[in-house]
Amino acid sequence: MLFWIFRAIWAAVVVVAPALGVWVASSLAAYRNGPVWLVCAAGLLLFPIVPVAWDMLSELLRRRRAHGRDRRVLTTWDRIVLRTLVVNLAVLTALLWSRPEAVFTAISTRGDWFLEGAEHPLAGRARAGLLQAADGLQWLYEAAHDNQYAELIETKPAEAPAPQPVPADDAWSDPWERPPQPSPAPGTEPAPTPDPLPASEPQAASGAAWPSPAELHPAVLAMPDEARGSIDAVGRHLAASEPDPARRIKAIHDFVATHLAYDAASYLNRDVYPDQRAEAVFASRLAVCAGYANLMRAIAAVTGDEVVVVVGDARGLSREVEGESHAWNAARVDGRWYLIDATWDSGHLKDGAFVREYRTDYLFVPPALIGVTHFPEEPAWQLREQPLTRGEFARQPMMRPKFFADGLQLVEPRRSQVTVAGEFAMSLDNPRGRNLIVKAVPEDSSPAVECELTGTRAVSVSCGPLAKGTYAVRIFTSPTLYGTYQGVGELQVHASG
């Protein structure tokens, strides 16, 4: 009995080993918009072509040397199984060794590419199994990934907080789920919900409300020149001007976001960064994210507020789905932690230059929303009872908090990257009747494709037909028809032509 079990396992190696190699390589191809069919066809090299050819060549050489006098211990089948195992292990090792971060991201986001569009329950279970297996390789990404800003942080990493239970009435506990809406009468369009909607009650009660108007704190607006001379002077002025802890944290955020300019040249060079300590960036008024985070923590130390630096990865518009190294802050207000990113609230890069644009999008952001764009190295700093895996983070569509603040909900698709044949379709729920523009921006810098939108509350988006290539399908919103439209999210779309 044991003999036949062993033989069955031995035979399964012939199926499993090449399948793993093809799965990894084809997922990479799907992730990079490469020729998946060619990769799958090349899988025939892993079995049977290379193992069988290897065995035939080995047998030919053996017979020439021994003139057919010696006998083989292993059967032909056993030798082919062994050679299949060696060939496939070599290919997998080469892929994992040369591109560990890309391999993990590919299998965790596109490891189920061949099930795309399949709705059968069996497909759902297979998809869940594949993605769970991919998530199990998170250690591979982390072993190869170094945060380039971690060494620029002045203080040691803060002690991880205890999990924070989500209040039962928290409106932002799950950004991807919305309570069922009543179905409109046939042939009618549901009326938009009046705007604005109230902020979530639990946060408003603490004073750390989100979203908040993009208005500078009065203590920052009226700060005299003598109070701007040092970090200590800034901190003493803000402490004396604002007794409320939450509003004082906002004042620190506002000062840092407007005092500093982002060091675009150093960021784009990515080689040697200037001194990012708080005193240095305060004087130069130029910093990358580590400098913003250091300065915010340093001012809070003067005001007597508890602010720490968090490091991890973050992804904005026009970024890879797994993100890149970043640093931001966490602040404790009335015994509860909140997440803040003064860097992203200070402006943005355009054509390699920094453009000032003060916002409050990343001030006291609910954990479930900032978790779409920010992934800390220490899972506890997600401030969620059940932290996301890195794979789950990468699979989320890349929507900024303002997407949810505008009341929008992405109905379909629910993945950060998809492949389409010609035309891309997307469905949005727009209860506040926001004015929308959607564009498919090609990776090769050719003109963007304007997408067609139909509906007001239930919005159907159609982009295309798209020529073969990779696109960033970007969503822009504005409260007024002829106002300024702000980018609030995007999906990566591979068009197969």
Average pLDDT over the chain reads: 89
The answer to whether the pTM exceeds 0.85 is yes
Task: Note the pLDDT tens digit of each residue in 395-433.
Answer: 999 999 999 999 999 999 999 999 999 899 999 999 999
Query: What would you report as the CA-atom Rg of the chain, rounded to the nearest whole angstrom?
Result: 27
From the list 302, 298, 222, the residue with the least C-alpha distance to 256 is: 298
pLDDT for res 157: 67
Q: What is the pLDDT averaged over residues 182-189?
A: 51
Contact 112, 30 (CB under 8 A): no
Structure tokens at 354: 């920094």
Task: Note the pLDDT tens digit of each residue in 190-243.
Answer: 556 555 444 433 343 456 889 999 999 999 999 999 999 999 999 999 999 999
Contact 357, 348 (CB under 8 A): yes
Contact 340, 362 (CB under 8 A): yes
CATH 2.30.30.100 assigned to 406-497:
no
pLDDT for res 315: 92
Amino acid identity of residue 452, one-letter, is: E
Task: Note the pLDDT tens digit of each residue in 325-370.
Answer: 999 999 999 999 999 999 999 999 988 899 999 999 999 999 999 9
Question: Which distant-in-sequence residues (6+ apart) come within 8 Å of 416 by Cβ?
Answer: 109, 321, 394, 395, 396, 397, 398, 491, 492
Task: Note the pLDDT tens digit of each residue in 444-476.
Answer: 889 999 999 999 999 999 998 999 999 999 999
Map tokens 């290897």 to a residue: 54
